[in-house]
């Protein structure tokens, strides 16, 4: 590919609505272009990554025995009425009418349509098991589309659906998908964790989310480094024992209502009006020490909205100032704020952990914290927009000392994650409602056991960047890179030697099946290098007259501090 033929469209600054780094870099690198809230054009550069993501998913799904088909984006409401989801789904489901006033939906997933196919096509036990998948556009009218393609309204999902004759067989299908997902995200070079998740209203027995680990992730994960236990926060909470807690220490000034604190509790505890914003929170480190929390312990701060719904979670570490709060000893707190630290005792927090709110500063719309305001000023990512709304600081938990499951062997830690995949045993939820049966050996109709398995194809684009970037731009793992190699000739338009060496190398690499792009735009080296660092191509080859005089070209990996010189004839072999 020649850069002059392709569309390279980079920006120095990200638009102001881009909150997280992946969104900013994708906008700056010309990977996506906003059309409407949560609706994006996938530009040529971004689409190349999406196609690579899809190819890996497709390969592994087929290897795991799944069969590809394609179901429509627009689906008749009748099927959705059969399952009950037409009424139940809520405002995320986009409903529309055709010219005959018939109801349709734009699919957020395809359980109904695939169950309709299965009840017609899979009549006998001999046809089972089957697993169908497609990679298709979805629409969910998200309450708050944000982070670019990570929470879009229109997005691409791979969704697969398994059909089995009994629970054991369905469990095997589930495991096959679980293993396939592990291979898929591994091949993409991502750091991820499979976590137990709640099955919600659908019931069933098993569900796991695949979470890409990233500080900017919207989900909270609880895990045990020793036993391997991992769950999302909702699941961990559902399993948490309601053991009685030790009484708070005598010097604590206030104790909110035992059990889970409400917004009112917290507001009263902090001594601030409901719907105000607190400037900072200080945790008493001596109390944490007493609770046996080692340096590096992760502390969680949850913000609740006025209506008690969970708003945001921010992580901090015991080693120092971080996140939306800071640490001090009880004595320092008293000296600074003129009050003793108090005990806030919602679930999961050791009773000896104490906090004090810094009430010396007037409420403000930004959440500012740290030793001085310059240290931490949250205007973007996880905070800015949220705390501009009526918000309360509500709930601190330290799960290190908690024990949210019967099978957890060691202490727990928390991380943030981006949900990129979800595997789900559905049981007979849909087959029962839609009468999807097959005939067993005795000729008796039996309900099919189902599973569903989603991967957020376009969300992965953002998740991969969240994990792989630096101050200069994206750093693509080779498996996902829009181009694996960029050839940057210095003086392409001026030097025949450079032009010919660059073109020859380009043709050779392209013939060897390598995704190579030759930057023939005639840009100055600084601007040219900045573009490719922003775009994050893993390998750059610089060809110049000076190098060619010694028979050398420069090769530099995107993560390398410096380039190495290679004899020109060896480069193709090196790259392959």
Residue 233, CA atoms < 13 Å, CB-side half-sphere: 23
Considering only 105-113, 154-162, 273-281, 418-426, which stretch makes contact with Mg ion by CB under 5 A?
418-426
Reference 105, options 136, 138, 60; nearest CA is: 138
Q: Give which of ligand ATP, Mg ion, none residue 462 binds (C-beta under 5 to 8 Å, depending on kind).
A: none
Can you read off the two tokens belonging to residue 63? 């290897």
The strand pairing partners of 301, in sequence order, are 314, 396
Say whether residue 208 binds ligand ATP (CB under 6 A): no
Among 13-21, 55-63, 79-87, 420-428, which window interacts with Mg ion (CB under 5 A)? 420-428
Residue 157 binding ligand ATP, by CB under 6 A? yes
Burial class from Cβ neighbours inside 10 Å (0-12, 13-18, 19+) for residue 495 reads: middle
DSSP-derived pairing of the beta strands 154-164 and 74-76: unpaired
Q: Which does 85 bind (CB under 5 to 8 A by kind): ligand ATP, Mg ion, none?
A: none
Residue selected from 421, 489, 536, 547 as contacting ligand ATP according to rule CB under 6 A = 421
- In this structure, the strands spanning 354-358 and 280-284 are antiparallel
Residue 367's binding partner among Mg ion, ligand ATP, none (Cβ under 5 to 8 angstroms by kind) is none
Q: What share of the chain is helix, strand, coil (3-state, %, to 5)?
A: 30, 30, 40
Which stretch in 381-389, 451-459, 467-475, 527-535 sits in contact with ligand ATP by CB under 6 A? 451-459
Q: How far is the CB of 457 from ligand ATP (least distance, A)?
A: 8
Considering only the stretches 65-73, 145-153, 290-298, 419-427, report the one whose residues sit in contact with Mg ion under the rule CB under 5 A: 419-427
The verdict on 134 binding Mg ion (CB under 5 A) reads no
**Does residue 129 have a cis peptide bond before it, meaning omega lies within 30 degrees of 0?**
yes
Nearer to ligand ATP, 397 or 422 (CB): 422
Taking CB under 6 A as the binding criterion, the range among 124-132, 420-428, 485-493, 524-532 that sits at the site for ligand ATP is 420-428
Q: Give the range of 50-58, 116-124, 415-423, 529-537 binding ligand ATP by CB under 6 A.
A: 415-423
Within 13 A of 386's CA, how many CA atoms are on the CB side?
25
**Residue length, the chain?**
576
Nearer to ligand ATP, 155 or 367 (CB): 155
Q: How many residues bind ligand ATP (CB under 6 A)?
A: 14
Give the HSE-up count for residue 277: Cα atoms under 13 Å, Cβ half-sphere: 20
What is the C-alpha to C-alpha distance for residues 89 and 196, in angstroms, rounded to an integer? 23
Q: Which residue is nearest to ligand ATP (CB)?
A: 456
**Residue 454 binds to ligand ATP (criterion: CB under 6 A):** yes
* Residue 542 and residue 526 in contact, taking contact as beta carbons nearer than 8 Å: no
d(CA 231, CA 198) in angstroms, rounded, equals 9
Instruction: Classify 519 as helix, strand or coil.
Output: coil
Residue 142 interacting partner from Mg ion, ligand ATP, none (CB closer than 5 to 8 Å by kind): ligand ATP
Residue 494's Cβ-side half-sphere holds a number of Cα atoms within 13 Å equal to: 9
CA-to-CA dists, residue 452 to 134, 135, 263, angstroms: 12, 13, 37
Q: How far is CA 256 from CA 139, 281, 457, 474, in A?
A: 43, 17, 44, 46
Q: Which two tokens stand for residue 162?
A: 């398994």
CB 105 to Mg ion: min, Å: 16
- Pick one of ligand ATP, Mg ion, none as the site partner of residue 540 (Cβ within 5 to 8 A by kind): none
Is residue 422 within the footprint of ligand ATP (CB under 6 A)?
yes
Q: Which residue in the block uniquely carries the two structure tokens 């480190």?
A: 285
Cβ atoms 380, 19 nearer than 8 A? yes
542 binds, among Mg ion, ligand ATP, none (CB under 5 to 8 A by kind): none
Q: Which does 151 bind (CB under 5 to 8 A by kind): Mg ion, ligand ATP, none?
A: ligand ATP
**Which one of residues 43, 114, 344, 420 is an interface residue with ligand ATP (CB under 6 A)?**
420
Q: Count residues near Mg ion (CB under 5 A).
A: 2
| Residue 140 interacting with ligand ATP (CB under 6 A) | yes
> Is the Cβ of residue 232 or residue 405 nearer to ligand ATP in the bound state?
232
Q: Is residue 387 within 8 Å of residue 276, measured between CB atoms? A: no
Reduce the DSSP state of residue 132 to 3 states and report it.
strand
Given 112, 164, 312, 419, the residue binding ligand ATP (CB under 6 A): 419
Least distance CB 477 / ligand ATP (angstroms): 18
Strand, helix or coil at 261? Answer: coil
Residues facing residue 454 across a β-bridge: 159, 422
By CB under 5 A, residue 422 contacts Mg ion: yes
208 counts as binding Mg ion under rule CB under 5 A: no
* Cα–Cα distance, 426 to 111 (Å, whole number): 10
Comparison of 29 and 152: residue with beta carbon closer to ligand ATP: 152
CA distance 96 to 106: 8
For ligand ATP, the closer of residues 209 and 554 by Cβ is 209
Nearest distance from C-beta of residue 157 to ligand ATP, angstroms: 5
> Taking contact as CB under 6 A, which single stretch among the options 129-137, 284-292, 416-424, 488-496 is the one that binds ligand ATP?
416-424
The correct pick among 204, 456, 489, 547 for binding ligand ATP (CB under 6 A) is 456
Dist. CA 467–CA 190, nearest whole Å: 7
Does the protein bind ligand ATP through residue 152 (CB under 6 A)?
A: yes
Residues of this chain that bind ligand ATP (CB under 6 A): 140, 142, 151-152, 155, 157, 419-422, 454, 456, 458-459
Q: Which residues bind Mg ion (CB under 5 A)?
A: 419, 422
């Amino acid at each position: 590919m020649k850069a002059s033929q392709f569309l390279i469209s980079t920006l120095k600054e990200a638009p102001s609505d881009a909150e997280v780094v992946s969104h900013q870099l994708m906008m700056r690198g010309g990977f996506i272009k906003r059309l409407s809230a949560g609706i994006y054009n996938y530009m040529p550069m971004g689409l190349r990554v999406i196609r690579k993501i899809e190819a890996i998913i497709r390969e592994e799904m087929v290897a795991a025995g799944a069969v590809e088909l394609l179901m429509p984006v627009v689906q008749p409401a009748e099927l959705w009425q059969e399952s009950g989801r037409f009424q139940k789904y809520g405002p995320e489901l986009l409903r529309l009418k055709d010219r005959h006033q018939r109801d349709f939906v734009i699919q957020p997933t395809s359980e109904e349509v695939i169950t309709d196919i299965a009840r017609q096509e899979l009549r006998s036990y001999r046809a089972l098991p089957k697993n169908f998948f497609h990679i298709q556009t979805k629409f969910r009218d998200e309450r708050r589309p944000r982070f670019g393609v990570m929470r879009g309204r229109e997005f691409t999902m791979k969704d697969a659906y398994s059909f089995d004759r009994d629970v054991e067989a369905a469990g095997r299908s589930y495991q096959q998908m679980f293993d396939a997902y592990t291979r898929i995200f591994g091949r993409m070079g991502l750091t991820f964790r499979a976590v137990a998740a709640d099955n919600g209203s659908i019931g069933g027995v098993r569900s796991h989310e695949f979470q890409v680990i990233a500080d900017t992730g919207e989900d909270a994960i609880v895990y045990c480094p020793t036993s391997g236990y991992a769950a999302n926060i909702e699941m961990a909470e559902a399993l948490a024992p309601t053991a009685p807690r030790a009484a708070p220490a005598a010097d604590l000034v206030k104790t909110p209502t035992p059990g889970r604190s409400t917004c009112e509790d917290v507001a009263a505890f902090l001594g601030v009006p409901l719907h105000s914003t607190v400037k900072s929170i200080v945790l008493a480190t001596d109390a944490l020490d007493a609770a046996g929390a080692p340096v590096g312990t992760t502390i969680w701060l949850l913000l609740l909205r006025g209506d008690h719904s969970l708003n945001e979670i921010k992580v901090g570490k015991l080693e120092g100032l971080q996140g939306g709060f800071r640490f001090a000893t009880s004595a320092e707190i008293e000296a600074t704020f003129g009050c003793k630290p108090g005990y806030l005792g919602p679930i999961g927090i050791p009773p000896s952990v104490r906090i004090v709110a810094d009430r010396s500063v007037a409420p403000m719309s930004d959440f500012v914290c740290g030793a001085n305001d310059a240290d931490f000023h949250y205007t973007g990512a996880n905070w800015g927009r949220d705390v501009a709304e009526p918000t309360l600081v509500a709930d601190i938990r330290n799960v290190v000392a908690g024990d949210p499951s019967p099978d957890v062997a060691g202490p727990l830690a928390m991380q943030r994650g981006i949900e990129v995949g979800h595997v789900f045993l559905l049981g007979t939820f849909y087959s029962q409602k839609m009468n999807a049966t097959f005939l067993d050996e005795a000729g008796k109709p039996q309900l099919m056991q189902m599973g569903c398995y989603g991967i957020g194809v376009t969300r992965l684009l953002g998740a991969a960047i969240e994990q792989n970037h630096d101050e200069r731009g994206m750093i693509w793992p080779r498996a996902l890179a829009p181009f694996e190699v960029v050839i940057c000739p210095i003086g392409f338009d001026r030097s025949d030697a450079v032009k010919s060496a660059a073109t020859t190398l380009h043709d050779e690499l392209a013939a060897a099946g390598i995704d190579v792009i030759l930057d023939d735009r005639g840009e100055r080296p600084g601007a040219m290098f900045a573009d490719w660092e922003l775009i994050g191509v893993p390998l750059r080859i610089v060809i110049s007259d000076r190098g060619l005089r010694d028979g050398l070209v420069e090769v530099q990996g995107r993560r390398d501090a410096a380039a190495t010189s290679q004899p020109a004839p060896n480069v193709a072999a090196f790259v392959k």
